[in-house]
Structure 1
Amino acid sequence: MIFSKWRPFMKLEQLQFFAQAVKYRSISVAAEKSHISQPAFSGQISKLEKELNIKLLNRTTKGVTPTAAGVEILAKIDTVLDNINEINNIAYNYNSRGGVVKLATIPCMCDKIIPIVAKTMRENHPSSHLAITCQESSEVYHSVLSGMAALGILFNSVELTSPEIIYTPLFEDEYVLYVGPKSPYWDAESITIKEAMAQPYIAYRNEFIKDYGGVSTVFKDMMPNIALRTDELESVKKIISEDNYVAFYHRIMTREDVYLKYNLLRAIPISDYDTRTQVGYIESKKYKPSALDKVFIKVLKQIVSETFCQNCADY
């Protein structure tokens, strides 16, 4: 009997990245389409080659092509991905009476809107559950595209489009500037974009580092006076309320914010710049939504329309 050396399990994401690289014949193009950095994308393929102990791609200055072994493995990958699609469809069908809605969403939706939707779902469909992952728009897009999430809620962006994704708008929102009592603009009715960008700014995660469909898309080619950066969304408000810092937030999605309600923060509109952005949900053509997913979408639209968007455009 021949015993082979144990190797780490390959990841589904690595197989998908390899297939994408072959499809576009370019690692840089495939990475861009997948909305991740080229080094990270290339690194995952290299790890796959190392784990399999075989070269999968011929790399040249003109692009990439699969090796002979890569062609054979690619055929198997297609089968694997098709089987995963069938497994997802089976699971989704069994979720029609109960089960899990896998949702990837931008963090600001979790402040108020998603909790109300979750409460309504529990009341009307007690056997259902929500599995929620908070991500940036580009990550939401990738989660739905890969089948890791059935539904996604994100900011609309021309960068986040694909023939395999269906986008449906929900509502329009606009960015306002959160300021605290120590800000010189605490009593202001509005603020110019130049004045806003000059204030000491607290950036959340990748804000103003890369275009992920949020503030980086709305405030193109602009850079605020970033003093702090954090991945704790709630701590941003606390810091602003206690010191002279600012941050951009959404008017509709945060208008019932407890910090605003108790006058710990003020939301100042931008007077000379269009800060509007559109929020919508996405679903995959390949990983079709289940009956329960469709119920969630219906409830989401109802909550947005009745509770948050009386004055929004009728989508």
Structure 2
Amino acid sequence: MKIVSKPMWTSAARMGIGESPIWDEDRRTLYWVDVTAPAIYALHDGQVSTIPLQKPVGSIFLGRPGTLLVALRHGLRRLDLRTGELATLEVPCPMGSDERFNDGRCDRDGRLWISTMDRQLNRPLGSVVCIEDSRSRSWFSTQARVGNGIAFSHDDRKLYFSDTSGRAIYEYDKAQALSASGSLPRKLFAELDSTPGRPDGCTIDAEGCLWSARVAGGRIDRYAPDGRLVDWFELPVSHPTHCTFGGDQFRTLFVTTANHSAEGHEGPLNGCTLAYELGIQGRAEHRCLSH
């Protein structure tokens, strides 16, 4: 079913590539990143602040209270939100020099799951790495050129993975993934139809449905737990990149976007972060407390 909605809030700043939105319920703050002009943005009580960074960021996660974990292209940092200081986390990772970290998510047990992708965007080098207690616990190959959004099913038994370049979302058995060290069986969860766009970042709502940003397709798709496309809504931008729930009772859907105006995708809101009230409740993000 097509949902008709207009954004209730848009950021004044336009990102080159906005990504990795995450809601911190304790601080009542939305965080997101700009990949191309490296920085972390924070929305609190209607005001946006910025923490400049020296290196591009793949994704961010909630850490211990007052901190964020920052996945750079190749390595993890802990950001102190009070001082702005970044501390290096020594985490051995089975990732080749031609790969880099991209999107990810923290599970209910505090483990980090991060997808990787080919730095050159043309070889199927992707994998998913699970990091726990400052060590790499497991990893499995996704054979994706651009590995992207990760989410977990309502019962925590399935791991969803977005293969952006392959235009498909896959599901993996999470218990098997926890002990993997290479290949892993997977099941096709959803394959995009012939309309434009590719699956990018994603999140899960309180009903267990998966919301997927259709980058270059200008919309957000909502999939039932069995993989059926049940709802979608069009956006006033061409390249949504990610989405997450937050706000009061997690009823606000925040959407990050990319600005591809130089490539002919014109629009005044391209690159802005958007907020929607859709009457659907999301879930809180988990914290990684071991780092």
Band the TM-score falls in, shorter-chain normalisation: under 0.3
Of Structure 1 and Structure 2, the greater helix share is in 1
Give the TM-score normalised by structure 2.
0.23
TM-score, with normalisation over the residues of structure 1? 0.22
* Greater Rg by CA: 1
Higher relative contact order (CA 8 A, sep 6+): 1
Higher normalized strand content (fraction of residues): 2
